[in-house]
């Protein structure tokens, strides 16, 4: 497990600029999620083609022990705090996006 | 409920620095478990090994329950390790061989062991800790007599190879253990996500659990045979 370096300013600016378009907003989060998931995903080709239905464990084969890393990396990237109840839901891309959007909105 | 759950952690693949950060371990350990480490005073067990020991126990409980509660969500901090008993020899040695297999009649004093609760359920665990790995098996009773357990190091750590190797490892044991199998067993993942043993395409009444991480694989199954 290696730590990913993040540029949170870029991520925040990008999200703010696209907040009027929720589909675009979610697509941008998927692009950022790909960077978060990269250190924990063996199949990089599959990672490039993820969509909201992609399951982190069964499709991307991310080891369950690395899910905690993914959550912590997402917290760091978006400067949010993900509580345990929300973290439990983050097993597929859709739920990851939902949690990130919810916590970003809570921050505003 | 007739089930079994196991897990294995390859310690060289964990991030020791991150494991020691509260941001990380507070997502795995409950407050009472964090206190347990300092209260119990483990001499040989570093804090990061303690965290991953408890992770492997919690993951094993989750796998145990998943068979009867398909919609179960893995919530590490809700699966609570209540007590840990230490092995007779606490010195952590190297795994030292390519594989280890055991039917649960080995003295419990050779293992880390303890009690876990999750809501109304109570479970018991046994864990082997070596310098390279932590492997755990969970049962719903204190008696591990009918539990078979194997650990093996493998050359290739690619995900598909780990998965293939662990199936071959358990099938070898099942075929040599169960009478009348004649190598016609197979392991498949059922639609609910847990592995089952098939004999000529028919599911056998033998709960199995498989685990792999990096260069280590492990199986466990419940059988009174031979």
pTM, full prediction: 0.89
Chain B residues lying within 8 Å of A3, measured CB to CB? 15, 18
pLDDT value at position A106? Answer: 82
Please state the rounded mean pLDDT for residues A58-63.
Answer: 91
HEC letters along A44-89 = HHHHHCCCCCCECCCCCCCCHHHHHHHHHHHHHHHCCCCCHHHHHH
Tens-digit pLDDT profile for residues B142-182 = 999 999 999 999 998 888 889 999 999 999 999 888 876 66
The pLDDT value recorded for residue B59 is: 97
Name the residue of chain B whose CA is nearest to A64's CA: B59
pLDDT in tens, B200-216: 889 999 999 999 999 99
State the complex-level ipTM: 0.81
CB A1 within 8 A of CB A39: yes
| Span B9-27, average pLDDT | 94
Query: Is the minimum CB–CB distance between B33 and chain A shorter than 8 Å?
Result: no
Q: Region A27-52: what's the mean pLDDT?
A: 94
Which residue did the predictor score with more confidence, B43 or B2? B2
Cis link prior to B226 (omega < 30° from 0)? yes
Q: Does B24 touch chain A (CB under 8 A)?
A: yes
pLDDT in tens, A62-78: 988 899 999 999 999 99
For residue B93, which phi and psi values (nearest 5 degrees)? Answer: -105, 175
pLDDT at A2: 37
Q: Is B114 helix (H, G, I), strand (E, B) or coil?
A: strand
Mean pLDDT of chain A: 84
């Amino acid at each position: 497990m290696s730590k990913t370096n993040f540029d949170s300013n870029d991520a925040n600016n990008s999200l703010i600029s696209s907040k009027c378009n929720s589909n675009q907003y979610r697509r941008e989060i998927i692009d950022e999620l790909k960077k978060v998931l990269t250190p924990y995903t063996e199949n990089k080709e599959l990672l490039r083609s993820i969509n909201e239905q992609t399951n982190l464990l069964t499709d991307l084969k991310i080891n369950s022990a690395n899910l905690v890393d993914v959550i912590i990396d997402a917290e760091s990237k978006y400067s949010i705090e993900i509580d345990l109840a929300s973290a439990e839901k983050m097993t597929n891309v859709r739920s990851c996006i939902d949690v990130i959007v919810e916590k970003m909105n809570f921050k505003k | 409920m007739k089930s079994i759950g196991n897990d294995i952690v390859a310690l060289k693949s964990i991030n020791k620095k991150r494991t020691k950060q509260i941001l990380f371990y507070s997502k795995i350990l409950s407050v009472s478990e964090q206190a347990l480490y300092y209260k119990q005073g483990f001499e040989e067990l570093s804090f990061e090994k303690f965290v991953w020991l408890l992770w492997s126990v919690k993951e094993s409980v989750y796998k145990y329950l998943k068979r009867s509660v398909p919609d179960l969500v893995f919530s590490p901090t809700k699966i609570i390790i209540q007590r840990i008993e230490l092995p007779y020899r606490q010195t952590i040695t190297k795994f030292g061989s390519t594989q280890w297999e055991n039917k649960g009649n080995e003295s419990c004093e050779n293992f880390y062991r303890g009690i876990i609760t999750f809501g109304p359920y109570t479970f018991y665990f046994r864990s082997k800790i070596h310098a390279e790995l932590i492997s755990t098996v969970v049962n719903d009773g204190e008696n591990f007599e009918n539990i078979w357990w194997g650990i093996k190091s493998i050359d290739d750590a690619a995900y598909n190879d780990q998965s293939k190797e662990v199936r071959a490892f358990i099938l070898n044991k099942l075929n040599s253990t169960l009478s009348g199998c004649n190598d016609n067993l197979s392991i498949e993942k059922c639609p609910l996500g847990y592995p089952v043993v098939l004999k000529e395409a028919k599911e056998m009444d033998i709960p199995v659990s498989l685990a792999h991480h990096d260069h280590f694989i492990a199986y466990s199954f419940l059988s009174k045979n031979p």
